[in-house]
Structure 1
């Protein structure tokens, strides 16, 4: 059978047409002009086609033609078998793919063969099952998929990580050679690895027989005042406290020599950090001449050998400078942060925290104090490597120290930061809301 498209005319052999009336072997003009092609809706795909009927008589048998069913059976039978005397074998051959029930519906009575029925395409299409719509593009499919995703659990849907990039905090120092921008990340990576060597055992005082943690607190509170009076650098104070703790961890000291340890530690820190250092006589004077020059030099020798000349250790100060830069701090935040961390220098219990954690918690506590609510930026978290939850314990201790800074006998830090030089940082209202663990 010669096929044709819906939009293209073609000659069709009469023997291959079903259900069109013919007169004298030719199509009538009315039928020829009104005929329309049928679509294959895949109904009874392999069913054989019945032969055309001409004025109630069946067309001549053409056994050489094998009709393969590519057209569906319609509701109105336009052509059927008219010869009742066809053999049972021939009937099965032509209707082999139809079941018995469909054969009963397809073969009409002999009375119905007298009339010619033309296929009603419109009526046939209405009764047929409509074909599935074909999308010209993928827009409609995408919309349906998005609607279905709305009902899904967001945790089960894989999403791309849309985190904002961390800003470059060193971009403003590209032209500053002292900022060593090209090496700063490597430097602080080394500090993180080396900070464990600067830490001491948090209960080393149990090895001391004549001194305790209260005496240590009195010594450091006094050294903070000495440091302020001599107008030394901040690095010197933090290194002084570190040298004292590391020395006391390995060396047993009697009570009368504890102040000598403090004075000598400050002398060593000044030699390491300061450009202009105080002379030994000045330190003896400040200690009310309780020790001689020889005693100071002898203690210096003992201490430096006990520490194996290891003076290059990362203290909380080095982390403070980096973390304040990440927090984009101003002078107010900087002074308040140092006030928080110097309060921790006096407290023996804060030795359990690493220097980097102390620095991060001091800045976090100062930010919360100034803003009145919890604040920890993504940039600060990325550079400090500490989340807000990891800072809570240390931060609550700092708030408690802030509340009691002006009370008791050890008020050196509070007096220092109550001056205009340090921005009256000690007079700020403590962030008491951080003490509520339910927040």
Structure 2
């Protein structure tokens, strides 16, 4: 799979550094505030975020309770690959590695990647496909995800070019229509990244901690066996493992338990699989993920030699 001349087609909108929204210096308004809440309830993360229009501290708990309640509606079922005749897990891994590389080169938003992979898996769950159109499915799913998540997204002719012109613009558009029709236009679904943003905030992660946890959850995109875990389980397991590797005393803070209702026992299986993914990533044939998280913008977390040397 060719990423011919990718640097020519970078998403310029996403290269622009976005200013951090101004948050009120005072934690409470100068008038009209609830005195009872101030005097009886300790100030928590959500209270601090109440003036941040992006974090919506006063709604955050309810929002993520809802997202957790619907997260299994539109995720692929475990074992779907057994019904495919021509493709296998290894071919899927090669495709996702290529999608990660393209996503990085175009400088697309994180959510675009997770949605694209979700669309690929859900389509493959329903339709038996040949190896000759696997990359076409990948680029078309990425186009759908771009249209859904991005403000400015790559032109279709540029997406055709990154396949080394293996597919035409018309073929990409035709496959886009097939994917949408097959999935009955059900696109919206919460990702492990969205949950990670929330959980890392509750744990007050530093930037490097967040990038390491992000590295872990993106590994799961490559691993077909990780489909069996829900996005929220993957996200909280990544937070748990990051805390464990950092020798944090409270591996699962009470705020996280209150938000997710998960216990340490609930995370045991997923955390073990994440550790295996981390141990095996250096020996994998696919390298886009390691290359991505070796960059300074991702705190170079992939350069850790093994589990024991992180931080």
Cα distance, 1:382 vs structure 2: 1.9
> 2-side partners of 1:273 and 1:357: how far apart?
23
1:177 corresponds, among 44, 49, 53, to 53
> 1-side partners of 2:244 and 2:121: how far apart?
30
Bigger Rg, which one: 1
Cα distance, 1:185 vs structure 2: 2.5
- Matched position secondary structure for 2:291: helix
Q: Cα–Cα, structure 1 residues 376 and 223, in superposed 2: closer, same or farther, change >3 Å?
A: same
Cα distance, 1:373 vs structure 2: 7.2
> 2-side partners of 1:167 and 1:402: how far apart?
36
Structure 2 length-normalised TM: 0.82
Give aligned pairs, total. 269
Corresponding residue for residue 29 of structure 2: none
Corresponding residue for residue 105 of structure 1: none
Residue 281 (1) aligns with residue 157 (2): yes
Instruction: List aligned pairs for 1:329-344, cutoff 5 A.
Output: 329-344=205-220
- Matched position secondary structure for 1:209: coil
Cα distance, 1:182 vs structure 2: 3.4
Q: Which structure is higher in RCO with an 8 Å CA cutoff and minimum separation 6?
A: 2
Residue 271 (1) aligns with residue 137 (2): no
- Matched position secondary structure for 1:198: coil
Given that residues 139 and 159 in structure 2 are in contact (C-alpha distance below 8 angstroms), is that contact kept between their aligned partners in structure 1? yes
Instruction: List aligned pairs for 1:94-113, cutoff 5 A.
Output: none
Q: Cα–Cα, structure 1 residues 252 and 166, in superposed 2: closer, same or farther, change >3 Å?
A: farther
Instruction: List aligned pairs for 1:207-218, cutoff 5 A.
Output: 207-218=83-94
- Matched position secondary structure for 1:196: coil
Cα distance, 1:344 vs structure 2: 0.9
Q: Cα–Cα, structure 1 residues 419 and 274, in superposed 2: closer, same or farther, change >3 Å?
A: same
Corresponding residue for residue 202 of structure 2: 326
Cα distance, 1:177 vs structure 2: 2.8
- Matched position secondary structure for 2:234: helix
Corresponding residue for residue 309 of structure 1: 185
Structure 1 length-normalised TM: 0.59
Corresponding residue for residue 388 of structure 1: 264
> 1-side partners of 2:147 and 2:250: how far apart?
40
Given that residues 201 and 351 in structure 1 are in contact (C-alpha distance below 8 angstroms), is that contact kept between their aligned partners in structure 2? yes
1:375 corresponds, among 227, 251, 256, to 251
- Matched position secondary structure for 2:58: coil
1:191 corresponds, among 46, 62, 67, to 67
Per-residue CA shift, 1:37-93, capped at 9, x if unaligned? xxxxxxxxxxxxxxxxxxxxxxxxxxxxxxxxxxxxxxxxxxxxxxxxxxxxxxxxx
> 1-side partners of 2:74 and 2:261: how far apart?
19
Cα distance, 1:181 vs structure 2: 3.1
Corresponding residue for residue 162 of structure 1: none
Cα distance, 1:410 vs structure 2: 1.2
Q: Which of the pair is proportionally richer in helix?
A: 2
Cα distance, 1:238 vs structure 2: 0.5
> 2-side partners of 1:262 and 1:412: how far apart?
15
> 2-side partners of 1:203 and 1:173: how far apart?
41
Q: Cα–Cα, structure 1 residues 392 and 176, in superposed 2: closer, same or farther, change >3 Å?
A: same
Q: Cα–Cα, structure 1 residues 217 and 374, in superposed 2: closer, same or farther, change >3 Å?
A: farther
Instruction: List aligned pairs for 1:36-55, cutoff 5 A.
Output: none
Corresponding residue for residue 291 of structure 1: 167
Given that residues 284 and 293 in structure 1 are in contact (C-alpha distance below 8 angstroms), is that contact kept between their aligned partners in structure 2? yes
Deviant stretches of 4+, over 6 Å: none
